[in-house]
Chain A
Amino acid sequence: MALLEVRRVDVRFGGLHVLHDVTFACEAGEITGLIGPNGAGKTTTFNVISGVQTPTEGTVILNGEDVSSLKPHLRARRGIARTFQRLEVFGSMTARDNVRVAAEVAQRRRKHGAAKGSVRDVVNLIIERVGLSEVADEQSDALPTGHLRLVELGRALATGPSLLLLDEPSSGLNERESAAFGELLTELADEGLGILLVEHDVPMVMAICERVHVLDQGMVIASGTPAEVQANNAVQEAYLGTKGAAL
């Protein structure tokens, strides 16, 4: 059973048909890429999966459970976490508190009776892992975009998700940071996390993803391993047609 199944999702904004019959799946322990030109509908797909956007039609299935009718917070409690392309950091808090809120909410929900110190440990661990140790106690409003993306990643991880949706997480990072970031994602997947990655940095996607789905004008035009997708004519066309940039 797949970790996440998106089945026949349609989204219309008035007359604008943004997603057509979108169907794909993600597996636990894998990084799945979702790529496509600007305006293809990637963020909208994320919104549908996380419950922020109600689709006109279609279902979202997490671990075999139909979560389509659940509100965002209930989906989060079932293990879906996400970041935002247009950042939604808690700007008035420090980076650490951003992560802490998520960890506290998650801990309380699990009611493991875990010791009080454990939230702090979780937060410290995450801060260190995503590489925010140096700026953790600065108010996040003051941090550059690249760091804010890491704050969002850390915050999402702190909820203890089984599925992580990342919307353009590496924009704003420099080359070295991007590489470290790719490594971190691979590690997380190795630990069993399912990751759905939307990313404009196509070489990075090709390097770290097990499977890739390509969206164009709201339709899945190709799915497969990175090699298969790269060789696909429709994909070449979609990218060449809209952006003039080869894969």
Chain B
Amino acid sequence: MDVKEILQLVVIGVAMGSAYAIAASGLVVTYTTSGIFNFAHGAIGMLSSFLYWQLTVQDGWPVWLSVIVVVLGFGPAVGAIIEFGIVRGLRGSSLATRIVVTIALMVFAMGLATNIWQGQSASLPGFFPDADPVRFLDVALSVHQVIVIVCALTVAVGLRFFLFRTRVGTAMRAVVDSPATASLNGIKPDVVSQLSWAIGAGLAALAGVLIGPMLQLEAFALTFLVINAYAAAVVGRLRSLPMTFVGAVGLGLFINLVPYVVEHIGFLSSALDGWRYQPALPAVFLFIVLMLIKDSSLRGARPTRARTMRVPTFTESVLGSAGVIAFTIVVAQFLSNDTLNRLQLGFGVGVVGLSLVLLTGYGGQVSLGQMGFAGVGAFAMLKFGGASGNPLGLLAAFALAAPVGALVAIPALRVRGLYLALTTMAFAQFMDETVFRHEGVFGSTSNALGRLSIFGVSTDGDKAYLVTVVTVLCLLSIGVLALRRSRYGRVLTGMRDSELASATLGIDPRAVKLVTFALSAGIAGVGGALMAMANEGAAAEQFALVQSLPVLLIVVVGGVGMVTSAFSGGLALGLMSIVGKQVDISNLDLLLTGVAAVGLSRSPEGWGVGLADQVTRIVPTSRRFAFLPGRPAPQPEPVDEVTPADVTRPSGVRAGGLV
């Protein structure tokens, strides 16, 4: 054991942790004051990194001026604009919508960065790159690292002072618990909220400028640094700034010391040989922290803006499906192979989207990790279907992905809501970075995967395969709708409305959620198998974390409670990819999905629902348009708020006072 080496790692860990701390504290400030968890936090940091690089390296601006422009100008402005333009529209919307909107921003920012700074994977110099390293405890620290640590300390002290010693800061802490109290102080809640977003985004920008030089300047990697910030913030339960700092430094140490430990412990290093586990360490850390959170309380009913969609009958779903399939067969005749292929992929993702209709739309659980399950399905298809296209491979995809889903759900269901979403995201990142990229999973070179061959009829041709994918999507939709109409579907709806009441009827909430998670994972697995067959080979990139995010986006935009959103979403993804190729804008799908989902703050239940409303209004004979939901139900009566709460509300998840 080499003490000096360890010390060096500790110091680097602390420096990295300091940068995470700055980012994470920004996340906490915005979350506690506005109730919106900003998934785009990392993306703001990423854009700031690039902008800073553009100004200093490309345009030759002085460092001090660039820092001011980026950290005090760009960051806060972006935060304030997001707050004004989007966050305000989200009050009272569902968790899925609130999550999806900032994810949309994140996706949009990634699309933007890859377009503006296309292919520029430059490295960013740190502050004072030529200065001699500082020696401390026999360890060398670059001046940049020292500056990072000093900045973190300054931010910690500054935030403390601001929140506890200034009138605005006090109002900011108060607004969390009661907007009315804050108003009494003469400060408008809107102003507080906007200020908190400006501060939060400013901190993200600062973190971006500081972290950029410590890593490669790469849009996706920098954006997903947000997972590191989440991990730290979750240690502070998304509200305690001191604990967030502790978490950030802990994470920095974890990331730097685990590889050292693994390297020096024989059986660990041989066990992990060939696995890229290091990029997944933040996700592992996040997972561990989430597992330490105990939140066993049952959620009661609360009024939301959600409406009830009429569920189509069996006959309607069969007729609708027949129509869709017939339409596909006809249209497919006129399309080029490339277009067909893009649509196949789109509807393959649509199947993954359908898994979220069940899980999120019906069950109220938000998962950001469906591509993790899809990849498992693709793996099963590869092993069982192989080159021959044995349809049993699809069954295998379901049968393997479903238990994996249950396995993830067992620990993940200890938490709920936002925390559950974060846990599934950590899972997807782990699968992406570590499992799918392992040589033994998808293989390093392209693997031969034949398209389905059903009773000797091959679907090898692009037309036939598109029809196949759409048919599978239809069959699964019919199945999901049948589930929805069954006893299980009613139990699921009851659980979504009130877990508390469900439990007192003898329903085991955990069992129901577990089954739902497994079923949903199974469907995602089938989707993954279809996606892989569209490409005639499975590859890790298809099932990357960044691919998981648009899935939730497309179904929420289409109306997450309706199976039609899986179709519209699949179609939209296919079309975006087709158009993107025509106009030669890289990642157009990311840009468009981002824009589309941001529109959610105007129509928080999804455009599909809004559209359905319009059509039912115009065509009151809804039987003829039976696939459309009925008229929206009247808004729920306000609950009598005077009586004290029946039950202790979960204290862990709710945004408590900022401390």
Stretch of B100-108, B127-135, B141-149, B635-643 that contacts chain A: B635-643
Select B634's contact among A77, A108, A141, beta carbons within 8 Å. Answer: A141
State the CA gap A98–B307 with chains docked (Å).
Answer: 16
Q: A94 — nearest CB in chain B belongs to which residue?
A: B308
The residues of A that contact B633 with a CB separation of less than 8 Å are 92, 139, 141-142
Q: B487 — nearest CB in chain A belongs to which residue?
A: A104
The residues of A that contact B643 with a CB separation of less than 8 Å are 85-86
Asked whether B306 is an interface residue with its Cβ less than 8 Å from the other chain, the reply is yes
The residues of B that contact A53 with a CB separation of less than 8 Å are 647-648
Asked whether B62 is an interface residue with its Cβ less than 8 Å from the other chain, the reply is no
The residues of A that contact B639 with a CB separation of less than 8 Å are 86-87
Q: Is the CB of B644 within 8 A of A101?
A: no
Q: Is the CB of A47 within 8 A of B504?
A: no
Chain A contacts with B in 77-131, Cβ cutoff 8 A: 77, 80-82, 84-93, 97-98, 100-102, 104-106, 108-109
Shortest beta-carbon distance from A171 to chain B in Å: 8
The residues of A that contact B509 with a CB separation of less than 8 Å are 73
Asked whether A235 is an interface residue with its Cβ less than 8 Å from the other chain, the reply is no
The residues of A that contact B503 with a CB separation of less than 8 Å are 52, 71-73, 76
Q: Mark B483-513, 1 if CB is under 8 A from A, else 0.
A: 0000100110110111011111111110000
Shortest beta-carbon distance from B646 to chain A in Å: 5
Shortest beta-carbon distance from A150 to chain B in Å: 15
State the CA gap A109–B491 with chains docked (Å).
Answer: 14
Q: Is the CB of B637 within 8 A of A145?
A: yes
Q: B498 — nearest CB in chain A belongs to which residue?
A: A88
Q: Is the CB of A86 within 8 A of B640?
A: yes
Shortest beta-carbon distance from B657 to chain A in Å: 15
Asked whether A68 is an interface residue with its Cβ less than 8 Å from the other chain, the reply is no
Select B501's contact among A46, A85, A90, beta carbons within 8 Å. Answer: A90
Q: A104-B490, A142-B634, A167-B646 are in contact. Are A92 and B308 (CB under 8 A)?
A: yes
Q: Is the CB of A141 within 8 A of B636?
A: yes
Q: Is the CB of A89 within 8 A of B501?
A: yes
Q: A160 — nearest CB in chain B belongs to which residue?
A: B506
State the CA gap A145–B303 with chains docked (Å).
Answer: 14
Q: Is the CB of B306 within 8 A of A92?
A: yes
Q: B641 — nearest CB in chain A belongs to which residue?
A: A86
Q: Is the CB of A76 within 8 A of B504?
A: yes
Chain A contacts with B in 145-165, Cβ cutoff 8 A: 145, 152, 155-156, 159
State the CA gap A86–B640 with chains docked (Å).
Answer: 7
Q: Is the CB of A13 within 8 A of B648?
A: yes
Q: A76 — nearest CB in chain B belongs to which residue?
A: B506
Shortest beta-carbon distance from B14 to chain A in Å: 36
Shortest beta-carbon distance from B55 to chain A in Å: 52
The residues of B that contact A159 with a CB separation of less than 8 Å are 505-506
Shortest beta-carbon distance from B177 to chain A in Å: 16
Asked whether A43 is an interface residue with its Cβ less than 8 Å from the other chain, the reply is yes
Q: Is the CB of A50 within 8 A of B504?
A: yes
Asked whether B656 is an interface residue with its Cβ less than 8 Å from the other chain, the reply is no
Looking at B307, B491, B633, which has the most chain A CB atoms within 10 Å of its CB?
A: B633
Chain A contacts with B in 1-45, Cβ cutoff 8 A: 13, 39, 43
Asked whether A144 is an interface residue with its Cβ less than 8 Å from the other chain, the reply is yes
The residues of A that contact B644 with a CB separation of less than 8 Å are 39, 43
Shortest beta-carbon distance from B541 to chain A in Å: 39
Q: Is the CB of B493 within 8 A of A85?
A: no
Q: Is the CB of A88 within 8 A of B300?
A: yes
Q: Is the CB of A93 within 8 A of B490?
A: yes
State the CA gap A89–B500 with chains docked (Å).
Answer: 10
Q: A93-B490, A142-B633 are in contact. Are A105 and B504 (CB under 8 A)?
A: no
State the CA gap A142–B497 with chains docked (Å).
Answer: 14
Q: Is the CB of A108 within 8 A of B487?
A: yes
Q: Is the CB of B636 within 8 A of A90?
A: no
Asked whether B645 is an interface residue with its Cβ less than 8 Å from the other chain, the reply is yes
The residues of B that contact A46 with a CB separation of less than 8 Å are 646
Looking at B306, B503, B646, which has the most chain A CB atoms within 10 Å of its CB?
A: B646
Q: B492 — nearest CB in chain A belongs to which residue?
A: A101
Q: B304 — nearest CB in chain A belongs to which residue?
A: A91
The residues of B that contact A141 with a CB separation of less than 8 Å are 308, 633-637
Looking at A13, A43, A84, A155, which has the most chain B CB atoms within 10 Å of its CB?
A: A84
Shortest beta-carbon distance from A89 to chain B in Å: 7
Q: Which 5 A-B pairs have the closest CB atoms?
A: A76-B506, A88-B501, A72-B503, A90-B497, A141-B636
Can you name 8 A-B residue pairings with CB atoms under 8 Å?
A: A53-B647, A87-B639, A88-B498, A90-B493, A90-B497, A92-B496, A104-B487, A159-B505
Give residues in A with beta carbon < 8 Å to B: 13, 39, 43, 46-47, 50, 52-53, 71-73, 76-77, 80-82, 84-93, 97-98, 100-102, 104-106, 108-109, 139, 141-142, 144-145, 152, 155-156, 159, 167
Beyond contacts A43-B644, A91-B497, A105-B505: 14 other A-B pairs, Cβ-Cβ < 8 A, are A72-B500, A73-B503, A73-B509, A80-B504, A82-B504, A88-B498, A90-B493, A93-B493, A105-B491, A141-B308, A141-B636, A142-B636, A145-B637, A155-B505
